[in-house]
């Protein structure tokens, strides 16, 4: 299946997971289209100063791959700056948050896979 970027569904979320600002979620493919136990395959766009609040991943794991920008990640209590090319894996009940700390938007590829 090939999907043109103009065909991708977009969601705009305010204060996502009790974070700040607005986050745009561009779904590359929806959970219904994916045959694996994947519930999210998307690009997240987090504007300067915006964030996704701390949340846990129970019975699933999420991979973040930083496409552009700089962010601050709290990965289950370990707080670090991340930049283009960095990756984060959070799952098995652990939690995380991410905030854009650059002057340009933080773009993140996000994939959530479920254990069941």
Residue pointed to by tokens 């994916």: 34
Average pLDDT over residues 15-36: 96
Which pLDDT band, with edges at 50, 70 and 90, does 116 fall under?
A: confident
pLDDT in tens, 34-64: 999 999 999 999 999 999 999 999 999 999 9
In this structure, the number of other CB atoms found within 10 A of the CB of residue 11 comes to: 11
DSSP 8-state code for residue 17: G
pLDDT in tens, 76-92: 999 999 999 999 999 99
- What's the pLDDT at 66? 98
pTM: 0.95
Dist CA 76 CA 41 (whole Å):
22
In this structure, the chain runs to a length of 116
- What's the pLDDT at 84? 98
Q: What is the domain partition of the chain in residue ranges?
A: 9-114
9-114 CATH = 2.60.120.10
């Amino acid at each position: 299946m090939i999907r043109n970027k103009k065909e991708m569904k977009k969601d705009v979320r305010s204060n996502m997971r009790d974070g700040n600002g607005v986050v745009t979620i561009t779904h590359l493919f929806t959970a219904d289209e994916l045959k694996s136990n994947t519930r999210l395959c998307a690009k997240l766009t987090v504007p300067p100063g915006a964030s996704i609040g701390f949340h846990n991943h129970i019975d699933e794991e999420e991979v973040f791959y930083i496409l552009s920008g700089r962010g601050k990640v709290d990965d289950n209590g370990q707080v670090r700056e991340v930049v283009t090319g960095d990756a984060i894996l959070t799952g098995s009940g652990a939690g995380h948050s991410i905030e854009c700390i650059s002057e340009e938007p933080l773009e993140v590829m996000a994939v959530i896979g479920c254990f069941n």
